[in-house]
Amino acid sequence: MTLWRQQLTSSVFNKCLLIVISSVFSTSLWAQSPAVTSQEISPETSQDRLKQTRQILQLAEYIGVDYSEAISAGEINNADEFAEMQQFASIIIEKTSLLANDKPNSLMTDALQLQQAIADKSSLDVIQQFSQKIRKQLLSQSPALVLPSQLIAKDNVKQLFIENCSSCHGDLGQGNGPLAKSLSPQPTNFTDQERALNRSLLGLFDAISDGLDGSAMRAFSELNDQQRWSLTFYVGSLAFEPTAVTTKHIKQDANIELQQWVNSNPTQLLQQNVGIDRSQLERLRSQPELLFQHAESPISVTRTNLQAAVKAYQANELAQAQTLAVSAYLDGFELIENNLDAHDSGLRKSIETKLLNFRNLLKTTGQNTLVNQQLSSILTQLNQADTVLTGQSLSNNAMFSAALIILLREGLEALLVIIALMTVLIKTERHDAIKFVHFGWISALAAGVLTWWAADNLISISGASREVMEGGAALLAALVLFYVGYWMHSKTQGSKWQSYLKKNVDRHLNTGTLWGLTGLAFISVYREVFETILFYQSLLTQAIGSASSNEQVTYLAYGLLTGMAILAVIAWLMMRYSVKLPLARFFAVSSYFMLILAFILAGKGISALQEAAIINLTPFPVDVSISWLGIASTWQGLTTQMVIVVLFSFLVIRNREAK
């Protein structure tokens, strides 16, 4: 289950898809979205405040950790370290002043007292008291972090550390890398346990992400979020020895919330009485993978992110609230929709609608009452869904049906496109070009499986990134199918088609079009494969967790095999009978078939990008949704599909008048 709750990342493929989409659909098309009010906070301002806050947190913690290197018994041990403490205190005051309009005055008071305590060469206890007070106040006012659900494999993150950190910190993290002696201050020794007990994972993550002013520590912005979090947990583990772990230990250790684990240092966690002792704490720091072995269920992910989104909204962190609300649906609830559908489709549809509409409430400030009411309503229904899913497992028949429906739903559209392409080539007597179509869909199957494996083991692909890939691919395929459909309709007269074949087909199919066929076949299949695997993994997880797991897995396999057989029969029937149609009739039927596919894919593409919050979502006043036709009750989706119908009709009428 840990695969699904990923941090939002981007890829070259995502960006290319977005470029294609943006060139076709301008942002003005979605003008129905609510106007920005004067109370709205721009993402830039919000992100800037968040950045300032995180830098203060980092510097305050750094002072609390390293002050003992500078001062001992009221005397200066290291003049450079003492100067650094004074510099960091000044930076804290400077950055706190930037937050003066948004934060209580007590924060500036604490910052000034910390600066004075350093100047007075006060004891370490006094310094840590002020630094922890500053951190506690800022953390209570900061939005929840979007945390990873899975770390990179330990061997891979160790190699990542060696490649990026060992030149300063050494291969073992002891602060003795080849460049260490030339640096001031000296690189941190991550194996120093006393220091590690006073260093939070949040502070380490921010140092890796943003660097540390006044030191040689640079920002590793070229690494993605999962890589930086993995380095954070790895670095935080180096001061502690791994211990043997039993099932009992895992159950005991799993009680602590990951958010609290990241925000607080080990000493603070022991003082806060969070339910773990020193041995458990050291075990989890040394083996952070244990924190992710019992990741939250999708419904728990949804609850946690929704509550975090509301907290961010109340702190006027609107961009963060939107990100968390999107993740609540895509990285949580969407992954159990098929399971819930098998028990209560009405409840599934109600929760889905409320989650998607909830984002609109988070766009402007001043709606706290309504936001809390909607949150309460959604949480109530999530509890109902949780009771349904945990109170009873899917029956064998329901498991079979779910596995069958998933494959038919996800695979039928792709199959129809592939068969249509192959039939066109057969009818035009270009059997030699069929291999390009086969290459496209076979490559897509391999790429889909490889993407899933990479997302589970190497890289981070969030639910939002997944929807961007699927939505972008669907819209691109819809555009191509629309063009092909109209092109085929314009050649429905047999004489015109025969003449066109003689003059143009060979030339066009030899100038790059063949690889265009490969690309269309690839896009049509790839967009379905990754999501299909995720849905099957969700069913498999539920099957393994049931009392009759072996039987449930068997019925899941039966559903999969039956779906494959049905798709094979559909493919055979289409190939057998479509090639027997007269040429003009074949192209007339195929053109409308292409239009229907373009209509469906355009609707699904818009819906996917709405789920990823790329395109605004404006509900249609009447529920007209028909999922198998890609029709959703939103103005954006319906408008796009109507444009396709109207434009195709216009082109057909114009073509007839020209005959």
Top-confidence residue, 632 or 627: 632
pLDDT tens readout for residues 56-114: 888 888 888 888 888 888 888 888 888 888 988 898 888 888 776 544 578 888 889 99
pLDDT digits (tens, 9 = 90+) for 9-45: 333 333 333 333 333 333 333 333 333 333 333 444 5
pLDDT averaged over every residue in the chain: 75
Per-residue pLDDT band at 176 (split at 50, 70, 90)? very high
Q: What angle do CA 319, 606, 570 make, to 5 degrees?
A: 140
Q: What's the Cα-to-Cα distance from 208 to each of 58, 112, 211, rounded to whole Å?
A: 11, 27, 6
Q: Are 84 and 188 in contact (CB under 8 A)?
A: no
Task: Look at the domain 296-391 and name its fold.
Answer: Four Helix Bundle (Hemerythrin (Met), subunit A) (1.20.120)
- Note the Cα 136 to chain centre separation in Å: 29
φ, ψ at 76 (rounded to 5°): -80, 120
- Residue 619 bridge partners (DSSP): 634
Alpha-carbon gap, residue 534 to 643, rounded angstroms = 32
Percent of the chain with pLDDT over 90: 8
Whether pLDDT at 7 is above 60: no
In terms of Cα–Cα distance, which of 478, 471, 473, 476 is closest to 615?
A: 471
Position 301 scores a pLDDT of 82
Q: Over 70: is that where the pLDDT of 193 sits?
A: yes
Per the listing, tokens 């002043």 go with 97
pLDDT at res. 411: 78
Q: What is the pLDDT of residues 509-567, one digit of tens each?
A: 554 556 666 777 787 787 677 667 767 766 666 565 444 556 777 888 888 899 889 88
pLDDT of residue 147: 76
CA angle 469, 475, 477 (to 5 degrees): 95
- Burial level of 380, CB count in 10 A (0-12/13-18/19+)? exposed
Span 573-616, pLDDT tens digits: 877 776 666 656 666 666 777 788 788 878 888 887 877 778 88
Dihedral angle, C-alpha 152, 153, 158, 164, nearest 10 °: -30
**Cβ count near 532 (within 10 Å):** 19
CATH fold for domain 154-293: Cytochrome Bc1 Complex; Chain D, domain 2 (1.10.760)
Q: Give me the pLDDT at residue 578, please.
A: 67
Please report, in angstroms and rounded to a whole number, the separation of the first and last CA atoms in the chain: 59
CB distance 119 to 87 below 8 Å: no
Task: Please report the pLDDT score of residue 257 as a whole number.
Answer: 73
Q: How far apart are CA 334 and CA 310, in angstroms?
A: 20
Whether 342 shows a pLDDT value over 60: the answer reads: yes
- Across the range 296-303, mean pLDDT stands at 79
Range scoring the smallest mean pLDDT among 157-161, 248-252, 526-530, 644-648: 248-252
**Whole-number pLDDT of residue 167:** 92
Instruction: Check whether 378 has a pLDDT greater than 90.
Output: yes
pLDDT above 70 for 337: yes
| Cross-strand pairs, 306 | none
pLDDT score of 35: 34
pLDDT of residue 168: 93
Q: What is the pLDDT of residue 642?
A: 92
The confidence band for 128, taking pLDDT boundaries of 50, 70 and 90, is confident
Residue 238 has pLDDT above 90, yes or no: yes
The model's pLDDT over 255-272, given as tens digits with 9 standing for 90+, comes to: 567 888 888 888 888 887
300 pLDDT tier (thresholds 50, 70, 90): confident
**In the predicted structure, residue 198 carries a pLDDT above the cut 70:** yes
* 377: pLDDT strictly greater than 90: yes
Burial of 288 (0-12, 13-18, 19+ CB in 10 A): buried
How confident is the model over 211-239, as a mean pLDDT? 87
Where along the chain do its domains lie? 43-141, 154-293, 296-391, 396-658
**What's the pLDDT tens digit per position in 429-462?**
777 778 888 888 888 888 877 876 765 555 555 5
181 pLDDT more than 80: yes
Report the C-alpha gap between 434 and 190 in whole angstroms: 59
Q: With 70 as the cut, is the pLDDT of residue 359 above it?
A: yes
For residue 265, give the nearest of 325, 214, 200 by alpha carbon. 200
Tally helices (H) and strands (E) across the chain: 29, 2
Average pLDDT, integer, range 134-150? 75
Kindly tell me the burial class for residue 128, based on how many C-beta atoms sit within 10 Å of its own C-beta (0-12, 13-18, 19 or more). Answer: buried
Instruction: For 245-268, give one letter per residue: b (16+ CB within 10 A) or e.
Output: eeeebeeebeebebeebbbbbbbb
Type of residue at 466: R
Higher-pLDDT residue of 305, 245: 305
